[in-house]
Structure formats: structure tokens, C-alpha cells
Copies of this chain bind each other. A is one copy, B any other.
């Protein structure tokens, strides 16, 4: 195991209240897969440390994507400017019938390339053929929280297979992979299916990753059909009794927030604002959630709505949209935005004790962001730069679990050319939509 010194960077470290704050000219010492020390630069490096010069770089915790369907990068750009019903029924679910294990593997690697290049070190992925997804993560050297997505219509046998995946890969890739159950949503899984998911989760000691209250229309449909909001359904079926990631919460009512606050030590909301804007889904009530102490984290969702996997963009959109919706530019200031992007996202994944902080004892998932570009100059305010100027392309070096997976923008674990070639080969097949062929129907 290598030990590393990141020398003379500006570092986003927790202040006395734990809120991330920019401190200039720091050295970060990594031993094994943990951060050992963050100290002012100047001290000669210990002999056993590999030194990475990081002058002019900004070090921050690796970005966390709390909700995605990464292999959907394969369908990027194929469903534009359409309603959410058409998006599902005429595009996504027909397109997904083109998927194979093999394609999911290459799609996952393509998405991992984009995420590593953009500083994302951990992703909570919710998709199909997850053994291949896990294999890709293992090879890429990144961290992931994986759930095999399943619709109620597939039956309890299929659910059991997804539980077997969760068991198989729990603690996989040297601990970099954690798993969960991933029933799709209350509107595609009936109560019995949700209860069975909870039973599996409890048996395996894992949580649940699920879509719920994605937009207000779904909440209304649920109220109309059964006089319960989707969050009430999650509560009623026991889902909220285990650790849960809920995407996306644009349809949360105040009573839902109150209900969620009872479970806030193990339930969080994944927020993917670019998807909400593109599909006109409304916006997650982040201020209310934060006030109620419910963790909120950043996400991209899949690239067919997003169309990228860029957490810097999610960060910026989150802060700007909360200001816009509140008609108040003082809402969600820079320090809070960075808090959500780091500690918030880690908490949503239930990993707040080991991820999301540059602090001794935390896992060494660290990115170096180049602040020398014209769009950062002059560097009066580096924290503002991170939220409002930084681009995915500014990320220079990425470390996960103490190991460098990208150095000076060169990927060290993935053969990029090979991946792009494989994806290109299947491009035509991926774009076909066979009439009547779809994996599911959207009808909340």
C-alpha cells in the first residue's frame, strides 16, 4: 500500500462546526486508504511518502453522486424535449429492452470515465445487470453503492435475484462496494413487493434505494388512488425503517417532510436538479428538508435526462434554483452548498462517518481541482469558484481509497480508447426502438 503526500494545496476542510471551509497552503498525508493528517505546508515530507505536488490545486473530498443509472449514458441524447410520460413510455423503457449484460458493462465503464474525469469518486447506482456494473467499478477502482433495480411486475422471484446480488457484492472490491435493495418506486411496486424488499434488506443488513415523490403529479395520483402520499406508502410498508435513499422528492408535501424527519438518522434525499429542469418536474424543497434535519445529497440521475454525469453542475444548479424558488439570493449560500456536496451526500449514503470530509481517519477519496484557469482568476474567493466557476474539466487528479485513479487527467485504471470503441460499435443497435417492446409502462 502506498502512502502519499498531497503537497501545498488549498484544502476544503471542516471548520469547528464541521462545515467545509477553504484553507490555503496545506499538506494532506494519506496512509493506506485513510487520511492521516491535514497540516500547513512547509514541513519536509516523511521519507516513506510519495509526494504529489499540488500547488495551485484545490483539494476536496471526492464528489459523491447519490443517485444515478450510470449505464444509461448509452442512450444519451435519445429522449429530448418530451413530457415525462413520453420520456418513459416512448423512449426509455422501449430503449432499455435493447440492453444486454455486455452493453451494461461498457456503458458503466463509459459513465465511470466521465465521472472520474469530473471528480466523482462514489456513485449510488440503481440499474440492471448489476454484476457487470459491480465488475466495472471493481476494475475502475472507484467506490459505489449498488442496487439492482426491479419492478413489481417482475415478481418476487426477480426480487430475490436482486437480493442475491446485494448479498454477493456486499463489501465487494475490497470494501469499496456496498449494496442495497432497489425496488423501482411505489408506483411500480405494490405494497407486498415493498414489504418483501424490506424483509430482504433486513435479512442482509442493507438499505433500500428507491424513487418516490418524483414530482407533484405522482403525489397527487397516489393521493387520488389510495389517499396516501408516496412517502406515507414507504412508511406504511416499512421501507422507512431501514436506511433509505429517496430520489427525487420534487413532489414532497410539508407532511411528508415532517414524516421523513422522524427517520432522518437513516433516510436521505438524492437531488438531481438538471433532470428536474429538463423534465419540468418542479424542485425538491431543500430548505424545508434541511430545516427538518433530513440529509440532502447531490445527484445526476441518468444521462438520458441530465445529459451528463457532472456533479459540479448539479451543485451549481442546486444553489441557484433554491435562490430562484425562494426569490431570495441569500438562500443556500456557498458554505451550505459545499456542505451538501460533501457531508450531505455522504450522509445520504449512510457513510457520513467515513466519507465527505478531508479529516484524519476518513477514507482517502480526494480530488485535486486546478484553479489556474482564466475562469477562476483572480482567486479572490476559491469557495465561490468551486460552486460557480468550476468545471468538470478542471479536475486534475483523483484518488479513491488511497489509490490514484487519474493523474494529471490521465486515467490509470480504465482503457478509455477501448471503451469508446466498444460503445461506438453498438451505437446503432442501442438507438432502435422496437414498437411494443418496452420493459415497463409509466402510469403513476
Contact = CB atoms under 8 A, between A and B. Distances in A.
| Chain A interface size range | 35 or more
Interface in A85-106: 87
A375 B309 contact: yes
Contacts of A306: 388
A177 to B, nearest CB: 22
Interface string A375-416: 111111110110011011100000000000000000000001
A49 interface: no
A306 B375 CA distance: 11
A423 B306 CA distance: 36
Contacts of A381: 76-78, 80
Contacts of A380: 75-78, 427, 430-431
Interface stretch (A8-16, A240-248, A275-283, A355-363): A275-283
A388 B308 contact: yes
Copies in the assembly, this chain: 2
Interface in A415-433: 416, 420, 423-424, 426-427, 430-431
Interface in A327-356: 327-331, 333-334
Nearest to A414: B374
A225 B112 CA distance: 57
A427 B382 CA distance: 13
B82 A329 contact: yes
A423 B118 CA distance: 28
Interface of A: 73-78, 80-84, 87, 110, 113-114, 117-118, 274, 276-280, 282-283, 306-310, 320-321, 323-324, 326-331, 333-334, 372-382, 384-385, 388-389, 391-393, 416, 420, 423-424, 426-427, 430-431
